[in-house]
Structures are given as structure tokens and as C-alpha cells.
A and B are shown apart, each in its own frame.
Chain A
Amino acid sequence: MDVTLFLLQTLNGIQHGLLLFLVASGLTIIFGIMGVINLAHGSFYMIGAYLALSLTQWTGSLFGAVLLGIPIAILLGLAIERLFIVHLYDRDHLQQVLLTFGLILIFNELQSIVWGDDPHSVPKPAMLAGSVPVTETLSYSTYRLFLSVVCLVVAGCLYLVIHRTRLGMRMRAGAYNAEMVRSLGIDTRRLFAVVFAIGVSLTALAGIIAAPDRSLYPGIGEQVLIISFVVVVIGGIGSVKGAFVGAILIGLADVYGQAYLHDFRGFASAAVYALMAAVLLWRPTGLFGRR
């Protein structure tokens, strides 16, 4: 086994995991705090990616797409929460799954109408298009390094918001006992709307910045959704820390699986699920889940 290649795969796994974290953290806080299983979460990743396509064309730069895409995602999140999700708070999980699955169908149809079913790609910003040489023969994509840095910065900001601000305190308190939060004079409807918008914008951001590194095609939202659920379950439902560790583990398992198990047909993509099964056998509520 080539050590340098292994290190590059590791970097890829971490980068893949960090991006997954942005999606999974939104999924896990929406479930943990609001009690809503949001199957449409992957759709916000897809929307982010396609927004990156249009907004990069329109503004001429990916950075423009990020600057415009995030406010759009926040507004979209607030609108979806007020129109649909708000009706799900006191419903059982089956109803949540049905409604949010319906949203997936709608978003996919809209994607097909607006952007068509052909694959697309989004150009990388020129300054990040190159690669960083690692050895004489191997190099690593500058853009992927940039992705990792952005994800780490966002993860750090999320940590600060959750652990160092009153909003974060209220979010954590709401995850535990929303009735008590209301009894203290906090409008949990507004709190939940903010949480949902944060979750949506994290996911949309992941979609926007991932777009230049991956191709865009119908169904990318669902792919990300499924793997994010695996991350959330491994990390422990509702735990952002768990989502972080889970995402890195899954990112690595996925990349190592593709790289080293490709000789065993079918096993390459199964590495992720094997990891999930192993974690759940060991800790049924996930790594950082509440027992």
C-alpha cells in the first residue's frame, strides 16, 4: 500500500466527511430540537447545488453564488417551515415522513422543469482551480482544500452559536423540554423557524460549495439525504458533535471503501453501512446519543 496515496485518500475522506457534516448537522438539529424527520433535507442540498449553477453563471463567480445563495436558502427555509413544517410539530413520524417525502417529489419536479435532467457542472473559481503538489507525481486539489477549510470554519461557527450564545442555549433547552422553554417566555415557534432556517442554509451551503467539485444531476439530493441519515444515526440523533464525528467516519469509510474494496463487487459502497451496523451494535443510540 502506498502511504502517500493513503494519506491523499484520507484527506479526501475528511473533506467528504466535512461536507457531509454540513448536511447532517442540519438534519440532526431539526430532528433533535423540533422533533421533525425532514426527508426533504437533501432537496435543500440539491437546490443549493443548482443555485450555484445559475448564480455562478449570473454573477460570474462562485463567491457571488454563495453570497446570494445563502439569503435565498434562509428565505426558502423560513417559507417551507411556515407553510409545511409548522404543521408537523405535534404529528407522528409517519405523517412527517409522508409530507416531507411529498416535498422531495415537488422539489425534484421543479428542478427538472427549471434546470432540466441533463448533468451539469459548475466551474471552479480560477484562483482555486489548480492543485497543490504533494510529491513529484501526486497532487491535491486546491478546491478540495478550500472546501475543507470552509466546512471547518462553518463547523466552528456552529459550535460557537450552539455553545456560546443565548440562541444556542435556547436551542439546546428546546431540544430537551420545549414546554419549559415556552414557560420561560420564549417563542418556540420563532425559535423553531430560526433552527429550520439554519439547518436549510447549512445544507444549501454544502450544495453550493460542493457543486464545482461534483457534477449536478437529478437525484443528488436523495443520495446526500440517505448518507446523512446514516451519519445522524451513527452520531446519535440530535447530537451535533455526533454528527461531526459520524460524518468524518462515514467520509473516511466511503472513500476507503471505494479505494480499497473495489475488487469486491458491491462491498465498496457497503463499507458505510457496515460501519453503521457496527456502531449501532456497540451503541444502539449512536456515539453521542442520549440513552
Chain B
Amino acid sequence: MSEAVLDVGGVHAHYGQSHILHGVTFRLARGECMSLMGRNGMGKSTTLRAIMGLVKPTLGKVWVLGTDMAHLPTDRIATLGVAYVPENRGIFPNLTVLENLVMAARPPVDGGGAGWTLERVFDLFPRLNARKDSWGNNLSGGEQQMLTIGRALMTNPRILLLDEATEGLAPLVRDEIWRVIGVIKDSGIASIIVDKNVKRLAGIADRHVVLVKGRVVFNGNGEALMGDPEFLNRHLGV
């Protein structure tokens, strides 16, 4: 396996008294697309929030390219090259589409790479270009998801964390988002994708991690995952 861009080692996390993550461990290789699956409430979002430093791990470490981030503030973690698309999308309703995109735009950390620009994001999502002067709160759910992904790309990340990639979206928009996840993967950005659609994830992700009550119960490729119908049924409900 090539060098890990992200290394999550034995992460425990709490919300107040409740112990949510119990030693979550996995690595993400450079350019790898990883799915993070599990039924509702198993700790997928909390895992992503722990990586972003939005929930401080009570135990364990998170490294991005060898930098220990457990004690860094969220903005420093982001500037190391981690972009985050939260479940609720986090669009700024009082900014226009264009402003949402440019407010946090940054060149790539290492200076190299293709470099996402406004132009490229608009090529990827022509819909955003058409609506660039609309306020964030006037967008449909699909447009919001395109915007939040576009905004994440504008920070030129090395790692993209995408929570509930297609939740609540119309079927056509879902297809669009899956296409874009493919484009992002091909561009070399490593990603962690959370979604309910196991089939789609199996088709696109290189590797899958399944959480049950804050513990990793599966970490392997699509064949191993799809080859165990009993496991799929029990932990993912398919």
C-alpha cells in the first residue's frame, strides 16, 4: 500500500458522558476512495468530525501526512489539506453561490497538482454557474450539495470528507453527485464517502470500512464486502 495521507489510530470520542467512538482505526492511502458505512447512529459522522477536530478525540491519534492533528484547531487541520462536506451541507445562506465558492478558496498546499479553480468547479457543476448570483438559501437540496462539494474543492484539498453524499436528493441529482465523486477520485484527491447506497459505494470506492457502535467491524475491498450477504444484511440492512 502506498503512503497514507490520513491515519486514524485508535480514536475514542465522547459527546458529554456518552462514549461514541471506541478506538476507530483505519488508514487512507494517497488518492484512495474509501467508503465509511454503517447504520444510523453508528458513529460515521462523529468519525469525520473527529478527523476535522470538531470533536476532540479523547484518546487516539489522527495524522495527516505525518502531522499529528489531535491537538490542532479545525482551521489548521483544514489548511493541511482536509476538506469537509458535513451532513447538513453547511451552506452560508447569506452569501451568494459565487461568494460561498470564493470565500475560502486556496491554492494547493504543495503548490503542485491540477489546482481547482472557479472555472473548473463551474465546468464540473454547470448548474452552479447558472445560479452563481443566487443566495445560498435559495438553492434546492441538490444545488446545495453541488455547492458544498464545489466549495470544498476550491480549497484544493488532498483529502475530501463527504458525509451523506446523496441523502435527500432526487434520483437525477444523485447520479450527478456519483459522477462527480468519480471525477474527484480520478483527479487524485483521497476521499472518505459516507452514504446509504451500498451498491453505488461498492462500485466506486477502493475500500470499505463499516462501523458498528463506534467500532470498525469491516475493513476491506468490495468483493469481500459484497460476498457476505449475511454481514451486509446485519450491519447495513441490505
- Report the minimum CB–CB distance from A29 to chain B (whole Å): 13
Q: Within the assembled complex, what's the spacing in Å between the Cα atoms of A82 and B16?
A: 28
Of B2-10, B96-104, B188-196, the one with at least 4 CB within 8 A of chain A: B96-104
Given contacts A172-B92, A172-B94, A176-B92, contact A183 B99 (CB under 8 A): no
Of B37-45, B73-81, B171-179, B221-229, the one with at least 4 CB within 8 A of chain A: B73-81
Per-residue CB contact flags for chain A residues 165-204 toward chain B (1 = under 8 Å, else 0) read: 0100110110111011111111111000000000000000
Partner of A176 from the list B74, B94, B102 (CB cut-off 8 Å) is B94
| Residues in B neighbouring A189, C-beta threshold 8 A | 73
Asked if B52 and A184 make an inter-chain contact with CB atoms under 8 angstroms apart, the answer reads: no
Chain B residue at minimum C-beta to C-beta distance from A238: B94
- Report the minimum CB–CB distance from B85 to chain A (whole Å): 9
Asked if B79 and A183 make an inter-chain contact with CB atoms under 8 angstroms apart, the answer reads: no
Given contacts A172-B94, A176-B94, A183-B54, contact A166 B102 (CB under 8 A): yes
Given contacts A183-B84, A184-B151, A188-B75, contact A170 B103 (CB under 8 A): yes
| Residues in A neighbouring B184, C-beta threshold 8 A | none
Asked if A169 and B99 make an inter-chain contact with CB atoms under 8 angstroms apart, the answer reads: yes
Per-residue CB contact flags for chain B residues 59-87 toward chain A (1 = under 8 Å, else 0) read: 00000000000000111101100011010
Secondary structure of the A contact surface, majority rule: helix
Asked if B74 and A179 make an inter-chain contact with CB atoms under 8 angstroms apart, the answer reads: yes
| Residues in A neighbouring B106, C-beta threshold 8 A | 185
Residue B93 CB within 8 A of the other chain: yes
Residue B124 CB within 8 A of the other chain: no
* Most chain B CB within a 10 A radius of its CB, from A172, A173, A176, A187: A173
Asked if B92 and A177 make an inter-chain contact with CB atoms under 8 angstroms apart, the answer reads: yes
Sorting the interface of chain B by its residue count into under 10, 10 to 19, 20 to 34 or 35 or more gives 20 to 34
Asked if A183 and B95 make an inter-chain contact with CB atoms under 8 angstroms apart, the answer reads: no
Per-residue CB contact flags for chain B residues 148-161 toward chain A (1 = under 8 Å, else 0) read: 00011001000000
| Residues in A neighbouring B92, C-beta threshold 8 A | 172-173, 176-177, 180
Q: Within the assembled complex, what's the spacing in Å between the Cα atoms of A169 and B98?
A: 10
Q: Within the assembled complex, what's the spacing in Å between the Cα atoms of A188 and B103?
A: 13
Chain A interface, number of residues (Cβ within 8 angstroms) = 19
Asked if B103 and A180 make an inter-chain contact with CB atoms under 8 angstroms apart, the answer reads: no
Residue B90 CB within 8 A of the other chain: yes
Partner of B74 from the list A172, A177, A182 (CB cut-off 8 Å) is A182
Asked if B75 and A185 make an inter-chain contact with CB atoms under 8 angstroms apart, the answer reads: yes
Q: Within the assembled complex, what's the spacing in Å between the Cα atoms of A180 and B87?
A: 12
- Report the minimum CB–CB distance from B106 to chain A (whole Å): 6
Asked if A182 and B86 make an inter-chain contact with CB atoms under 8 angstroms apart, the answer reads: no
| Residues in B neighbouring A185, C-beta threshold 8 A | 75, 78-79, 104, 106, 155
Q: Within the assembled complex, what's the spacing in Å between the Cα atoms of A162 and B119?
A: 24
- Report the minimum CB–CB distance from A172 to chain B (whole Å): 5
* Most chain A CB within a 10 A radius of its CB, from B78, B104, B151: B104
* Most chain A CB within a 10 A radius of its CB, from B75, B84, B86, B99: B75
| Residues in B neighbouring A183, C-beta threshold 8 A | 52, 54, 74-75, 78, 84, 86, 90
Beyond the given pairs A179-B54, A184-B103, 12 more chain A to chain B contacts, judged by CB atoms under 8 angstroms and listed by A's residue number, are: A169-B103, A175-B94, A177-B90, A177-B92, A182-B75, A182-B78, A185-B79, A185-B104, A185-B106, A186-B78, A187-B73, A187-B76
Q: Which 10 A-B pairs have the closest CB atoms?
A: A185-B78, A184-B104, A180-B90, A169-B103, A182-B74, A185-B79, A173-B92, A182-B75, A183-B84, A169-B99
